[in-house]
Amino acid sequence: MKDIKAPPALALIEDEFSGRPLHDTAVSHAILRQVAGQTLPETLRLYVPDEVMLFSLLDARNPGFDSARQAVEGLGCPSLLRLAGGHAALFHRQCLAFAWAIPQDQATDGIRERFQSLANIVQRAFVGLGIDARIGEVPGEYCPGEYSVNAGGRLKLMGVGQRVIRGGAHVGGVIVVGRSARLHELLEPVYRHLALPWAPASAGSLEDVVPGIRLEEVREALLAEFARGRTLRPASVGEATRALALELEAWHSPGSGSAPGSSRRALGLPKTVLGDGDESA
């Protein structure tokens, strides 16, 4: 009888870098580079982020980009360039951010499968929390995509994007657990200055659907779904990852003085940047 191999363990990192949102994002980027280079195993990073508006490279080329940044920074929210594609999304202390780095020889072959896998995991976790969770775009949602997860077809609760590089892929995004009023306050000027369509009524949080829900409940439900059929192995951010993240901070800083395209080329970064369900750079 042939032995059945168990799926490889998934390294789980929950380290946070409070007060350093730029470094926080660069750490997830560094993990992707190391997983693709086979110096780290497949890794899931799950953490509570500081408040920050994450713009995409596409947003950075928008004529209204500087005005959008100034608007949110005037409201006390810093901004940076995100790793995945799509459009602007807000992270804050009542969110769960995730960054899943997956080794893949032919990473472009599995784009939709990775999106679908992540969306399925999040949907099942939300259903277990008593939410009528559905996969798909809500009309008028911010950072729209077919792999968003929503409540009852009316409130976007989770957004996901993807970056593909040689040797691996990053599937990352955010689950909004609470503080949907802050989400509205900050997204409104951003989408207005970027001249992008957005229906505020489409943006919400899990707390809007399940009053009193806690971040820890959502974390436990999500990890339980990731652990189906495989082992989660606790890990932490190592010195090599931190050092690489420091080098990558300039790529994510809108005020670094380099145009996004040239800064990417200078760091040898790939061109394939994918938003929610978007398969083009």
What is the per-residue pLDDT across 234-260, written as a single tens digit (0 to 9) for each?
999 999 999 999 999 999 998 754 434
The enclosing H or E element of 67 equals helix 65-74
Which residue, 162, 164, 132, is CA-closest to 149?
Answer: 132
Quick check: 180 and 167 in contact, CB under 8 A? no
* pLDDT for residue 6: 61
Task: Provide Rg for the chain, Cα atoms.
Answer: 18
Separation CA 251–CA 22 (nearest Å): 10
Quick check: 274 and 111 in contact, CB under 8 A? yes
Mean per-residue pLDDT, 118-135: 98
Separation CA 195–CA 278 (nearest Å): 19
- DSSP three-state, residue 264: helix
* pLDDT for residue 175: 98
What residue ranges define each of the domains in the chain, with the CATH number in brackets?
10-274 (3.30.930.10)
Find all residues with CB under 8 Å of 186, minimum gap 6, and list them: 53, 72, 75, 77, 90
Mean per-residue pLDDT, 141-147: 94
Mean per-residue pLDDT, 147-165: 96
Find all residues with CB under 8 Å of 281, minimum gap 6, and list them: 85, 271, 272, 273, 274
Say if pTM beats, i.e. exceeds, 0.85.
yes
Which residue, 187, 28, 163, is CA-closest to 98?
Answer: 28
* pLDDT for residue 258: 42
Q: Which residues pair with 133 in a beta bridge?
A: 151
Least trusted range by pLDDT, from 41-45, 104-108, 113-117 = 104-108
Find all residues with CB under 8 Å of 66, minimum gap 6, and list them: none
